[in-house]
Amino acid sequence: DTRKPRNFPPGPKWFPIIGCAWQLRKLHKEKGSLAKATQELATKYGSVVGARIGRERTVFVCGLDVLKEMFRKDELNGRPHDIMSTSRTLGKRRGMGYTDAKFHLEQKKFVMGQLKRTSFRKKVMAHVLEQRVSVIIDELEKKVQSDSVICMTSFFPIHILNTLYFLLTGDKCSSQEMEELFDIMEDFAKNIPLTGTMFGHFPFLRHICPDYCGYNIYVNIHQRILEFVSKRVQVLKKACDSATPDCGFVHPYLMMVNSFEGNGTFSEDQMVATCLDLLIGGFDTSCNAVGFVFLYLILYPDVQRKAQEEIDRVVGRQSPLTLNDRARLQYVECVILESIRLFVGRAFLIPRRALTDATLNGYFIPKDTVIHGNCRLTLLDECAGWKDPKTFYPERFIKNGRISIPDNFTPFGWGRRRCAGEILARANVFLIVASLLQTFNFKPVPGCPPVVDVVEGFTPSVKPFKASITLR
Ligand code: HEM
């Protein structure tokens, strides 16, 4: 329905066919990001902005209280049911991030339960992440001997993908296969925006100009990931007999599929799509989080020094740092939290859908309205209680000598839709950053210091930058 329902949240004027697409596109260009554009609309219309993009009724949620209300309400917990959510998984809605209601609940519960028993168990996770960090340090030590200038945004991603892939699937593929997956994941991060595509808003365009409207690339990249995972699952099936591997959820999932014999929501297709979601949910976000941490550490040398002093005091420089040290490295932990704030504060949550007619902030939200949670106003704005929100100030997370996380800090979402990989993401980012600070100094390259410039992708990333690295 293209008419504005009564008591729908206020927003820009709806034009025939395109709705508000044109105004949004213009504002997006003007402001440099959709997050800034919708923040601007919120100053005019209030914290819930109503719009129509193509045929789709859309709401932008731009404030702490309304975001919390959205988190709380199960009826606003759905995911869009549109061409984007089906064409990514061969025409059927599958996976964890883009399914909803009972199907999503059953699947998420099972997968998270298994991961908590295997990969997210502290001992298992610590072992895998610590091993990888020692590879990173060895590689960086060698590199630094010949050239101290390293591109900070392209060095870590392959390592991050390696641990993610292994922890999530339990599969150790060859380094050649890892490179293959890496290329696809990089394509994904650059080319697929989280907030929607042109063909998503105007589905008919895929028949007219499938390249221009983003349809071909969208389908192609998802298909390549699915094919990769399916191929590896066939190998895993042959390799794993009755023994349960320590990592991933693939093996227990396959057993579940067999025991259900085709009934219920458990199927091999669904498992492969869940791997896809965990990979796309975890790769770009973790890489960008690491990118933001190092950008700010280089721009704020005092913070870097203070973090290193804490590491020297608590762990020393000789013995390798482990996940067990995390609780005692409070300042480093705050550096991570602060970087995640500045990263996700430039992002949106994954789009949602009203499962039934609902209300939000007193407005009417009809069934199937798409809802975008803008994190700028909760993480990067004074109105949510952040003092000097653009300043990198890890101490803001310390109260009376202890870490204190304010309740407006929700970079991983909240409730049923909460991030599936928060435990892993925080452990991984912490270990990479702390271990590297223990071993190296990071400085701007003379003449070309990094700048806080953000590039829109699946999630926002820092503009590629280099650092001059020396052994401590
Ligand atoms: C710093 C890193 C990360 C950040 C900031 C982050 C943030 C988020 C956010 C904001 C959401 C959406 C919540 C909502 O819609 O309300 C989300 C969902 C999700 N994340 Fe993460 N994430 C990170 C790392 C990871 C990792 C490592 C994984 C995989 C292991 C992962 C897997 C997922 C999945 C599957 C969902 C969808 C959950 C659902 O719809 O039920 N994320 N994440």
Radius of gyration of the chain (CA): 22
**pLDDT-based confidence at 246, cuts 50/70/90?**
confident
pLDDT in tens, 262-284: 568 899 999 999 999 999 999 99
Of the candidates 208, 158, 200, the one whose C-alpha atom is nearest the C-alpha of residue 183 is 158
pLDDT computed for residue 166 by the predictor: 93
- Other Cβ atoms less than 10 A from the Cβ of 362: the count is 9
Nearest CA to ligand 1 atom 6: 412
Residue 17, judged by CB atoms within 10 A of its CB (0-12, 13-18, 19+), counts as: exposed
Pairing of strands 149-151, 466-471: antiparallel
pLDDT at 261 over 80: no
With contact defined as beta carbons under 8 Å apart, do 40 and 60 qualify?
no
pLDDT computed for residue 408 by the predictor: 87
Q: Is the ipTM of this complex over 0.85?
A: yes
End-to-end CA distance of the chain, in Å? 63
In this structure, the residues whose C-beta lies within 6 A of any atom of ligand 1 are 96-97, 108, 168, 277-278, 281-282, 285-286, 289, 340, 344, 349-350, 411-413, 417, 419-421, 424-425
Residue 388 CA to ligand 1 center (angstroms) comes to: 27
pLDDT in tens, 325-341: 999 999 999 999 999 99
Q: Average pLDDT of 216-235? A: 95
pLDDT at 241 over 60: no
pLDDT in tens, 314-373: 999 999 999 999 999 999 999 999 999 999 999 999 999 999 999 999 999 999 999 999
Residue 418 CA to ligand 1 center (angstroms) comes to: 7
pLDDT in tens, 114-135: 999 999 999 999 999 999 999 9
Round to whole Å and give the CA distance between 57 and 357: 13
| 470's tokens | 């020396």
**pLDDT-based confidence at 449, cuts 50/70/90?**
confident
Q: Report which ligand 1 atom has the smallest distance to the Cα of 352.
A: 15
Half-sphere exposure of 268 (CA within 13 A, CB side): 12
pLDDT computed for residue 207 by the predictor: 96
pLDDT in tens, 375-422: 998 999 988 889 999 999 999 999 999 999 998 899 999 999 999 999
pLDDT computed for residue 1 by the predictor: 59
With contact defined as beta carbons under 8 Å apart, do 349 and 35 qualify?
no
pLDDT in tens, 41-81: 999 999 999 999 998 999 999 999 999 999 999 999 999 99
Residue 407, judged by CB atoms within 10 A of its CB (0-12, 13-18, 19+), counts as: exposed
The model's pTM? 0.95
pLDDT computed for residue 244 by the predictor: 58
Ligand 1 pocket: which of 419, 429, 431, 433 to mutate (most atoms within 8 A of CB):
419
> In 3-state terms, what secondary structure has residue 311?
helix
pLDDT computed for residue 165 by the predictor: 94
Residue 291 CA to ligand 1 center (angstroms) comes to: 17
Does the annotation flag 419 for ligand binding? yes
